[in-house]
Chain A
Amino acid sequence: MPLEYYVIVAAVLFFIGAAGFLIRRNLLVLLMSIEVMLNAVNLTLVAFNRMHAGNHTGQIFTFFIIAIAAAEAAVGLAIVLAFFRLRSTVRSDDADLLRN
């Protein structure tokens, strides 16, 4: 398979995730859009690593990104839970405690 196909699929995935992050305002959907974008980046890293098959740098990077994404999901969901306990909503527009 040519490299370009993977890059285009990853770019489209990234744009879908970015669009979701910019347009939606449900905090859970925002976190899931971040996961989609991280997955798109991982795909490009692995594809470029396949092109330079002499070492595993891209795959090691992807490994660490997956670990960090898991930590990010745990902390982000905990924050969503705490926010929901405070305001009983998950709309991102209601997160305005620091505005005034």
Chain B
Amino acid sequence: MNMLELAFFGLCALIALLGAIATVAAKNPIRGAMGLLSTIVGIAGLYLTLAAEFLATIQLLVYAGAVVILFLFVIMLLGPSAVSKREARGPWARYVGAGALLLSSLAMLALIVRAGPATPTAFAKAPAKFGTIESIGHELFTNALIPFELSGALLLVAVVGAVAVARGKQIDPTLLPAADPKGKEAQS
């Protein structure tokens, strides 16, 4: 195993994991979006070590360039109210969440222990054009042509739907159940 490759892998994995923790733990959603950005960049680096150059590019362009910017736009549109004041969930939901998390982590631990100390399976040498734009594009426009076109239609529908949902329009005030944030009493 190449020492330099291991160092690059460790660096990218560390960036991705720290970014994910920041995403989940940050109180301010802008910090969370920055953590998501760091996760995405780290995973793009991991894709590079997996000989998936095209996907690393797409990851940076689409996720870091479009999705995170969209998140940032919405967070800035909402302003200070994007930070919710009372954050922690009620005890019931918290216990269910923690229990599910504990169970799944135990399952993962059991799987790792059951796999035992077998020698890690190193990758064989990849074929010459594995993961390049040329080969992925060839695959996309031959075997996966119909899903590719359908994903274009899906994106179009998503854009039209997002505009239709988010478009500002006057709301009839009589239809509002509770316009104020803590108007639970007004509902009943």
Q: Give residues in A with beta carbon < 8 Å to B.
A: 1-6, 8-9, 11-13, 15-20, 22-26, 28-29, 31-33, 35-36, 39, 42-43, 46-47, 49-51, 53-56, 59-60, 62-64, 66-75, 77-82, 84-91, 93-94, 97, 100
Contact = CB atoms under 8 A, between A and B. Distances in A.
Contacts of A87: 178-179, 181
Contacts of B40: 39
B176 A59 contact: no
Contact of A90 (B59, B78, B112): B78
17 contacts: A1-B5, A1-B122, A13-B20, A15-B104, A15-B105, A16-B17, A16-B20, A19-B24, A22-B98, A29-B32, A35-B36, A36-B20, A36-B23, A60-B139, A66-B55, A68-B151, A81-B165
Q: Which 10 A-B pairs have the closest CB atoms?
A: A2-B120, A20-B24, A22-B97, A71-B158, A78-B166, A78-B162, A78-B165, A16-B20, A74-B162, A81-B166
B77 interface: yes
A80 B78 CA distance: 10
B13 A67 contact: no
Contact of A56 (B13, B63, B139): B139
Interface of B: 1, 5-6, 9, 13, 16-17, 20-21, 23-26, 29, 32-33, 35-36, 39-40, 43, 46-47, 49-52, 54-55, 58-59, 62-63, 66-67, 70-71, 74-75, 77-78, 81-84, 86-87, 89, 93-94, 96-98, 100-101, 104-105, 108, 112, 115, 120-124, 126-127, 130-131, 135-136, 139-140, 143-144, 147, 151, 154-155, 157-159, 161-163, 165-166, 168, 171, 176-181, 187-188
Main secondary structure of the interface of B (DSSP, over half): helix
B46 A70 contact: no
A63 B148 CA distance: 9
B70 A2 contact: no
Contacts of A75: 158, 161-162, 165
Main secondary structure of the interface of A (DSSP, over half): helix
Contact of A63 (B58, B63, B121): B58
Contacts of A25: 84, 87, 89
A25 B92 CA distance: 14
B136 A67 contact: no
Contacts of B143: 60
